[in-house]
Amino acid sequence: MSSEQPTAFDYLTRGRLLLRQGLLDRAIEDFDAAVALDDTLAAGYYCRGLAYRDGGDLDRAVQDFTTAVDVDPEYGVAFYARGVVRRRLEQYEQALVDYSLAIDMNQEDPDYYYARGVAQIALRHYDQ
């Protein structure tokens, strides 16, 4: 980072790089700093949720994905990510709702439809 005071976007960008490298604790620190500087930065909560998910802290991941969609109700990928975690937690009804919300916002992503189908199968909704 430059000698100037880092911005929320600076922390978000570096955190994403650290996340891709698997340096989860350091990524989380940067995402913490990003949302501390700008608590309306939905991407900061979303990315921190990904780091928590990758680290196995699924409850905190759900919390961050929820905050991301509270901050930006049109952030479809956060609904999808929350659905993925809820499915892993065997919260299939909630996952199904999240996938449907993600589809409402982006009808072009086949992963959303596939995930919703998997949740429907888990719920034995074979006719949908």
Residues 4 and 57 in one domain: yes
Q: How many domains does the chain have?
A: 2
pLDDT at 21: 98
Query: pLDDT tens string for the chain (128 positions)?
Result: 556 899 999 999 999 999 999 999 999 999 999 999 999 999 999 999 999 999 999 999 999 999 999 999 999 999 999 999 999 999 999 999 999 999 999 999 999 988 888 888 888 876 66
Residues 34 and 60 in one domain: yes
Residues 54 and 107 in one domain: no
Residues 58 and 101 in one domain: no
Is the pTM higher than 0.85? yes
Domain boundary among 34, 58, 73: 73
Residues 65 and 14 in one domain: yes
Residues 63 and 125 in one domain: no
What is the CA angle 15-53-59, rounded to 5? 120
CATH number where 57 lies: 1.25.40.10
Residues 3 and 58 in one domain: yes
Residues 1 and 57 in one domain: yes
In which domain, by residue range, is 93 found?
A: 75-128
Residues 12 and 59 in one domain: yes
Residues 65 and 2 in one domain: yes
| 10-34 exposure pattern, b = at least 16 Cβ within 10 A, e = fewer | bbbbbbbebbeeeebebbbbbbebb
**Alpha carbons 38 and 109: distance in angstroms, whole number:** 29
Residues 121 and 82 in one domain: yes
Residues 64 and 1 in one domain: yes
Output DSSP code: residue 50.
H
pLDDT at 118: 86
